[in-house]
């Protein structure tokens, strides 16, 4: 196959996906051309190749023409550290463009254990159904008795029916009620949350996907992969130990570390040590202080509006009092998750809130009540509602309420406001049930602001329809580029240099040379942003968790070769990522969804007058233009050029682009 890989033999994939037509209830297997695995790997790479041609440009995201794909990464199912992820893909009801979402747990590997490289749903069922794969047979089952149940109950009921080995991905009430920010829940609390794909699943009346497989991953050389995994884990344990020693004696270490140039080593070690203990919430208090966390719907200042005495209630350190056990996704040596038990709230077993949730329901809306955070976290997991977007919607509603744009009449008498913790759960329930103003908020802040009018769009903090995550782009400027120009907008887990600089990808994959850029020099960032956008796609398509890239070097090319027989170089990794990112962008061009809308609060227009982000205004036009130029896409419109499509063997995309291209300029909202 082509220049970027040499085919050896067929290992590491099954060469087929399960194709489920929910309109006709037909189930088929579709063969995937072998070269696609070499060109797109797996996960959303492979999905982009399939969905680009299969979803018509005028498909309604919530109609039968949309397609929903569950795609494990190429290495998912192997012991390769951090690769237990799967991606859900389809046309997003939030942006009208490419949608994908990523989740861990144990569901992704189970798709492989069923002998498939992906499961794809087309059409729309008349009645609620779920897909069952058991003993090598796929059937569509009646889900009438599950409809109306939350995602965790659904998981439990399917376990009772089919045995505890079953792995379930399900929607809750949010997906059923077509809340545009709905996600898909697996392992009773991991959620493929972003892009609104839970609503797509709900629109297809697909309640759950339930899998029990027994197929073995077709390794090229299983022993080698296991051996390399062991070496990686040993190295990780050593780093953990070293970081503990260093932290213990850090009274003498700062100077010494500079001398022996070990600062990065410590960073990796600390990352492992701290993340495995506290999870992502380890930085909840820090982030609101330094300007990383958006405060008061992106218009506040941490030390003034949400000082430490408030935010510290919500930190992972405070949540330790309820911790029962840690847990991790399949094949993960870091294990950043934890189960809590909070008897006083009647929560026998609940997932520890992540940083994003603790900030979206903390600093963003000025809630400092930890009980509310715990209840909200559990509720959103059960409802299958993206906590980032849910927080954004609540913040929007509060600010509209505070400014008289919505009133008690709209909220059914509920008084909402900054820091009014007791009103948060009732408001969320109102949205999920689509009652009162909830019926409008259920469509996300962009559509809600359009419907409400009266200047509400000022408070709608989103990029191209998706609410922004809990990382202020004024703190990490290239995040703004990502938010506004990535095919799935408003994502902190999409490629971005400032965020990723925390744990350089150049250490994760040896020999990568990341172009240099300066944080606030806005015309210096294009090449680095493009580089990160490319490599990030490859890492995702292989099935890696983002945190892998923060945890030090891995023998990536060896893992790929020993698992799949595909021989790649670093240049191949970059070209494959370039191809995937370009195809995702081409999907948006085809669907007229390159929009470039972003709320000015994310850009520092007008600049903040106080706090760590004081005076910062981002030059978004330069950053986006330079990124497009570095991708060799049209710098004005972001549409991939014909020469790039040819270079990346994406010729098939050329005609489709002509269907629905339009000039786009960056629209700063409001």
Partner 1 sequence: MKIIVNLAGSFGLKSINSEVSIDLKENANVEELLQALRRLLKIKVFSVKGMKSNFIVVMINGERIDPKFAKNRNICESDYISIVQPIQGG
* Residue 335 binds which entry of partner 1, ligand SF4, none, CB below 5-8 Å type-dependent: ligand SF4
Least distance CB 193 / partner 1 (angstroms): 13
Least distance CB 176 / partner 1 (angstroms): 29
Q: What is the 3-state secondary structure (H, E, C) of 534-561?
A: HHHHHHHHHCCCHHHHHCCCCCHHHHHH
* Residue 318 binds which entry of ligand SF4, partner 1, none, CB below 5-8 Å type-dependent: partner 1
Examine residue 251 and tell whether it contacts partner 1 (CB under 8 A).
yes
Piece in contact with partner 1 (CB under 8 A), picked from 151-159, 436-444, 492-500, 572-580: 492-500
* Residue 614 binds which entry of partner 1, ligand SF4, none, CB below 5-8 Å type-dependent: partner 1
Q: HSE (CB half, 13 Å, CA atoms) of 127?
A: 8
Separation in Å, CA 260 to CA 255, 268, 550: 9, 16, 21
* Residue 62 binds which entry of partner 1, ligand SF4, none, CB below 5-8 Å type-dependent: none
Binding mask 524-563 for partner 1 (x = CB under 8 A): ----------------------xx----------------
Least distance CB 360 / ligand SF4 (angstroms): 17
Q: How many CB atoms lie within 10 A of CB 502?
A: 11
* Measured distance CA(199)–CA(206) in Å, rounded: 10
Piece in contact with partner 1 (CB under 8 A), picked from 59-67, 460-468, 607-615, 651-659: 607-615
280-313 burial, b at 16+ Cβ within 10 Å, e below that, comes to bbbbbbebbbbbbbbbbbbebbbbebbeeebbeb
What are residue 265's phi and psi, to 5 degrees?
-55, -45
Examine residue 244 and tell whether it contacts partner 1 (CB under 8 A).
yes
* Residue 499 binds which entry of ligand SF4, partner 1, none, CB below 5-8 Å type-dependent: partner 1
Cα three-residue angle 574-577-582, rounded to 5 degrees: 125
Examine residue 247 and tell whether it contacts partner 1 (CB under 8 A).
yes
Examine residue 6 and tell whether it contacts partner 1 (CB under 8 A).
no
575-610 burial, b at 16+ Cβ within 10 Å, e below that, comes to bbbbbbbbbbbbbbbbbbbbbbbbbbbbbbeeebee
Examine residue 258 and tell whether it contacts partner 1 (CB under 8 A).
yes
DSSP string, 211-247: E---PPP--S-HHHHHHHHHHHHHHHHHHHHHHHHHH
Looking at the Cβ atoms of 511 and 606, the one nearer to partner 1 is 606
Strands 462-463 vs 337-342: parallel, antiparallel or unpaired: unpaired
Determine which residue in the list 285, 338, 383, 574 makes contact with partner 1, applying CB under 8 A: 285
Residues lying near ligand SF4 in the complex (CB under 6 A) are found at: 82, 84, 104, 328-329, 332, 334-337, 545, 547
Examine residue 434 and tell whether it contacts partner 1 (CB under 8 A).
no
Residue 90: closest CA among 82, 101, 81, 79: 101
Looking at the Cβ atoms of 160 and 252, the one nearer to partner 1 is 252
* Measured distance CA(575)–CA(572) in Å, rounded: 5
* Residue 303 binds which entry of ligand SF4, partner 1, none, CB below 5-8 Å type-dependent: partner 1
Looking at the Cβ atoms of 354 and 378, the one nearer to partner 1 is 354
Contacts of 343 (CB under 8 A, 6+ apart): none
Least distance CB 462 / ligand SF4 (angstroms): 25
Binding mask 301-320 for partner 1 (x = CB under 8 A): xxxx--xxx-xx--x-xx--
Residues that bind partner 1 (CB under 8 A): 244, 247-248, 250-255, 257-258, 263, 270-271, 274, 277-278, 280-287, 289-292, 301-304, 307-309, 311-312, 315, 317-318, 354-356, 471, 492-493, 499, 502, 546-547, 610-612, 614
């Amino acid at each position: 196959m082509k220049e970027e890989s040499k085919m050896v033999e067929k290992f590491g994939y099954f060469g087929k996906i399960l194709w489920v037509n929910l309109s006709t209830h037909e189930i088929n297997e579709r063969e995937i051309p072998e070269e696609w695995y070499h060109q797109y790997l797996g996960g959303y790479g492979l999905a982009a190749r399939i969905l680009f041609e299969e979803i018509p440009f005028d498909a309604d995201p919530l109609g039968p023409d949309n397609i929903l794909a569950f795609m494990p990464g190429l290495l998912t199912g192997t012991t390769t550290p951090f690769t237990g992820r799967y991606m859900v893909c389809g046309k997003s009801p939030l942006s009208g463009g490419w949608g994908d979402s990523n989740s861990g747990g144990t569901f992704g590997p189970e798709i492989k254990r069923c002998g498939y490289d992906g499961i794809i749903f087309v059409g729309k069922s008349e009645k609620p159904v779920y897909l069952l794969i058991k003993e090598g047979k796929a059937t569509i089952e009646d889900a009438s008795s599950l409809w109306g149940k939350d995602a965790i109950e659904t998981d439990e009921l399917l376990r009772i029916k089919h045995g505890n080995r079953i792995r379930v991905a399900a929607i809750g009430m949010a997906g059923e009620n077509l809340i545009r920010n709905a996600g898909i829940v697996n392992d009773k609390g991991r959620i493929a949350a972003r892009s609104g794909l839970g609503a797509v699943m709900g629109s297809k009346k697909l309640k759950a996907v339930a899998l029990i497989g027994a197929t073995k991953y077709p390794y090229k050389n299983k022993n080698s992969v296991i051996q390399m995994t062991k070496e990686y884990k040993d190295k990780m344990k050593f780093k953990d130990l070293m970081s503990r020693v260093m932290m213990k004696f850090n009274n003498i270490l700062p100077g010494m570390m500079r001398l022996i140039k070990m600062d990065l080593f410590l960073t990796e070690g600390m990352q492992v040590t701290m993340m495995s203990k506290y999870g992502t919430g380890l930085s909840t208090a820090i982030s609101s202080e330094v300007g990383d966390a958006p405060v008061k719907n992106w218009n506040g200042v941490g030390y003034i509006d949400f000082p430490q005495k408030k935010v510290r209630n919500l930190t992972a350190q405070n949540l330790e009092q309820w911790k029962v056990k840690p847990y991790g996704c399949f094949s993960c040596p870091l294990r950043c998750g934890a189960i809590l038990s909070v008897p006083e709230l009647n929560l026998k077993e609940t997932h520890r809130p992540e940083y994003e949730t603790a900030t979206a329901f903390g600093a963003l809306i000025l809630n400092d009540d930890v009980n509310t955070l715990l209840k909200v976290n559990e509720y959103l997991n059960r409802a299958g509602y993206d906590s980032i977007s849910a927080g954004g919607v609540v913040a929007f509603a509060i600010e509209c309420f505070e400014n008289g744009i919505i009133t008690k009449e709209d909220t059914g008498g509920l008084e909402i406001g900054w820091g009014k913790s007791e009103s948060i759960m009732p408001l969320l329930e109102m949205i999920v049930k689509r009652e009162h103003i909830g019926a409008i908020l259920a469509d996300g802040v962009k559509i809600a602001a359009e419907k409400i009018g009266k200047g509400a769009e000022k408070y709608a903090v989103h990029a191209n329809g998706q609410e922004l995550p809990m990382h202020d782009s004024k703190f990490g400027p290239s995040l703004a580029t990502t938010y506004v120009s990535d095919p799935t907008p408003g994502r902190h887990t999409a490629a971005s240099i400032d965020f990723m600089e925390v744990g350089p990808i150049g250490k994760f994959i040896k020999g990568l040379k990341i172009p240099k850029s300066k944080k606030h020099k806005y015309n210096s960032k294009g090449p680095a942003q493009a580089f990160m956008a490319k490599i990030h796609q490859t890492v995702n398509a292989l099935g890696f968790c983002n945190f892998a890239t923060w945890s030090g070097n891995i023998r990536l090319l060896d893992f790929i070769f020993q698992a799949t027989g595909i021989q790649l170089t670093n240049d191949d990794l970059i070209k494959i990522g370039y191809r995937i990112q370009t195809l995702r962008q081409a999907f948006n061009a085809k669907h007229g969804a390159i929009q470039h809308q972003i709320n000015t609060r994310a850009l520092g227009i007008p600049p903040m007058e106080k706090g760590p982000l004081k005076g910062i205004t981002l030059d978004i036009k330069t950053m986006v233009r330079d990124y497009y130029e570095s991708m060799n896409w049209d710098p004005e419109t972001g549409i991939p050029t014909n020469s790039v499509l040819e270079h990346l063997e994406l010729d098939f995309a050329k005609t489709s682009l002509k269907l629905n291209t339009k000039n786009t300029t960056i629209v700063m909202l409001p």
